[in-house]
Amino acid sequence: MTDIPTQKQGREPALFLIHLLTASGAPIALIALLAGSRGEWGGMFAWLGLALVVDGVDGPLARRFNIAERLPRWSGASLDFVIDYATYVFLPAFALAASGMLSEPWNWVCGGLVVFTGALYFADSGMKTLDGAFKGFPAGWNMVIFGLMVLSPSEGFTIGFVLVCCVMSFVPVKFTHPVRVRRWRPLTLLVTAVWFAFAAMAVMGNMTLSDTGEMVLALSSLYLLGVSALQQALDRFF
């Protein structure tokens, strides 16, 4: 007697498309690297922005269709970590080290610290808190290095900021996830949208913005970096 496949089993091959979507971040990362190797930093961060969009879509899809149980052979979490390390950590560190933002040997020191602390952070099984935030700086170097490149602060400020973020990776201070953290989520999503809008303007303007644009990008960056820490402080002291 021939077994009749269930509806669930019949849908599983199509569900593998979600893993393919996640894996598409790998060739996107390669194209970003090729752009960066030519000194096309705006192009590189445009591709990293596309990778960020893919990363924002594949996770909710995987949870919606319960991929972990329905396709147990393939670890979406492991695949996601591989792609995220390349796009969130390694390529931004490459930009920091190779773009001329820092002189030698600081470019090698800071770039090396970014990839080193980022690797350790990605190995931390306790990186996420119960409310959906991240514990410690979540190795979001794609946004940090992009912001530093556009805003063009002094070399001393850039070095100091990078070192602070590296240290903050291991400090029990919360950093927001714009979608998963429900507290102040409408405001956080609005600020995130503003950040992306001005980031897109910077990319189209060859990594430059007007004075007003720089101020908006800086303020929105500070909000995204500090909002969960502020909430944590309010809960503790009030």
* Domains of the chain and CATH, by start: 7-237 (1.20.120)
**Tally of CB atoms within 10 A around 115:** 18
Q: Given the structure tokens 């029990």, which residue do they identify?
A: 172
Mean pLDDT calculated for residue range 79-98:
95
Q: Given the structure tokens 């970590």, which residue do they identify?
A: 81
The tens digit of pLDDT for each residue in 159-195 reads 999 999 999 999 999 999 998 899 999 999 999 999 9
Whether pTM > 0.85 for this model: the answer is yes
The tens digit of pLDDT for each residue in 43-88 reads 999 999 999 999 888 777 777 877 877 778 877 788 889 999 999 9
Burial of 129 (0-12, 13-18, 19+ CB in 10 A): middle
